Amino acid sequence: MQPKWHGLTWPANDYSRVPYGVFSNPEIYNEEQEHIFRGPVWINIALEAEMPNPGDYRTSYIGDTPIVAVRARDGAIHAFVNRCAHRGTLLVRDLAGNAEDFTCIYHHWCYDLEGSLIGVPFLRGLKGKGGMPKDFRMAEHGLKMLRVECYQGAIFATFDKNAEDIQTYLGPDGVEFLDRLFHKPIKILGYLRQRIPSNWKLYIENLKDANHAGLLHQMPVTFGLWRNTQIGGSKLDALKRHEIHYGYVDTDTEEDAEEGYYGVQSYNTTLTLNDTCIVDYVPEWGDDISSQFLSMFPASVFQQFANTIATRQVRPRKPNEFELFWTIFGYADDDEEALRRRIMQNNLAGPAGVVSMEDGEAPHLVQKGVGNNREGHSLIAYGGTGPIEDQTTVITEVAVRGFWKYYCELMHVPVALQARAAD
């Protein structure tokens, strides 16, 4: 008899079949917050370029827990749960700003930039009446602090004090990716955000599924920015939790595309562009990689798609809803032409982007399709169901299986114990 988990059966020990119920069960969602988002994982919460000065702060989320990242007066970056230690009020309400300290709007408890409680109105009451108990100690009621590490200007945070350091977590390929992306100072260009009515894991599957990009998205397929007929592949870290997928533009011919995409509706040679800037890639990283995405477990993304560069953060809200937050940036030395190109190509991304709006719609359609179905399961078999390892093609879902492998380990799904022997 196969083991069950929350009443769900995992039909295979190779992570090629995932029960639909994992996308709608509220109990599973709550356990994810505890075992994953407040577990031994790192989340990219901001970029140092967003907080250049002492007192600069950014609000963000880890899972559905609100947090604040702030630069202290000594230049160090701190992060804390955005929740007053008194009654749990949301402490910081703005997306970003600069502050000398943080004061709760409710009862005016005040905290310094390191999260220590420094002020309590009417601490000793008034005229001998009221106030906090005599044994109350402000030092014992600071904000809940997170562990923070920075790498190449990206700020990462974790709830787990024993988690491996960020470079070990990223692995050699992840470190190399960030070294490439942040090889010189950056400047922030703007932000995008959208709410998508689907489970957060469906979007993560989408990110790790390079195959869909050459099928779902008509713009890059038709105009050659990303095709399954081009050279591409994916790299996985040692634990199969992170993935980098990459592609090389202009490594196929129109004849290759016509043959490979025969009968595929997303390849439409009748379409034309009056201005090709949106799909014209200009090499600038010293290699021929035209698109590259780092998907960090569980919910952080770094992207180079043509000449647009950005981070994405997936923020779960409830079992069938998540928020997607984009930080768009360029390089500090971008000239006018480079800046125009980045801004133009950013029209590929975001809620109304000709690529990203499709990536928002697809998980929603899956969510509607699976509903509260607890009997069915998805099939994840492009690339085979053998070892979870690096791929030299984008026509594969192996990285999706890698996500589920590590997910099962952190969530203590019984199938994970079986699968270790199969690896």
Residue 308 in tokens:
């647009």
Radius of gyration of the chain from its Cα atoms, rounded to whole angstroms: 23
Q: What's the rounded Cα separation, in Å, for the pair 314 and 208?
A: 14
By C-alpha distance, which of 206, 217, 215, 216 is closest to 243?
206
Domains of the chain in start order, with CATH, are: 43-149 (2.102.10.10), 184-422 (3.90.380.10)
Query: Position 266: which residue type?
Result: S
Tell me the C-alpha distance between 61 and 38, whole Å. 11
Report the pLDDT value the prediction gives residue 269, as an integer from 0 to 100: 82
- This prediction has a pTM of 0.93
DSSP state of 223: T
Give the pLDDT confidence of 219-272 residue by residue, as tens digits: 788 887 778 888 889 999 999 999 999 988 888 888 888 888 888 888 888 888
User: What is the number of other CB atoms lying within 10 angstroms of the CB of residue 231?
Assistant: 16
Residues of the chain with pLDDT under 50: 416-423
* Residue-wise DSSP of 285-344: SSSS--EEEEEETTTEEEEEETTEEEEEEEEEEETTEEEEEEEEEEETT--HHHHHHHHH
Biggest distance spanned by C-alpha atoms of the chain: 88
Cis peptide before 298 (omega within 30 of 0): yes
> What is the pLDDT, as a whole number, of residue 230?
85
pLDDT at 3: 63
C-alpha torsion 205→210→212→217, nearest 10: 120
Q: Give residue 420's pLDDT.
A: 43
- Quote the pLDDT of residue 415: 63
Say what the pLDDT of residue 167 is.
98
Amino acid at 300: S
How confident is the model over 138-184, as pLDDT tens digits? 999 999 999 999 999 999 999 999 999 999 999 999 999 999 999 99
Q: Which helix (H) or strand (E) holds 168?
A: helix 166-181
pLDDT for 2: 57
Candidates 137, 136, 138; CA nearest to 109 is 138
Both tokens of 275, joined, read: 């201005």
CA angle 230, 237, 169 (to 5 degrees): 135
Closest by alpha carbon to 179, among 188, 169, 170? 170
Sign for the CA dihedral angle at 44, 45, 49, 55 comes to negative
Please give the pLDDT value at position 419: 44
- Contact yes or no for 293/305 (Cβ under 8 A): yes
**Positions of E strands within 199-241:** 232-236
SS (H, E, C) 260-278: HCCCCCCCCCCCCCCCHHH
Q: Rounded distance, CA 16 to CA 10, Å? A: 9
- Using a 10 angstrom Cβ sphere, with 0-12 exposed, 13-18 middle and 19 or more buried, the burial of residue 64 is middle
Amino acid found at 245: H
Provide CB contacts within 8 A for 305, sequence distance 6+: 291, 293, 345, 348, 349, 355
The whole-number pLDDT of residue 249 equals 87
Residue 171, phi then psi, degrees to nearest 5: 80, 165
Q: Are 84 and 101 in contact (CB under 8 A)?
A: no
- Residue 417 has what pLDDT? 44
DSSP sequence for 93-131: -SSEEE-SSEE-TTT--EE-TTS-EEE-TTTT-BTTBS-
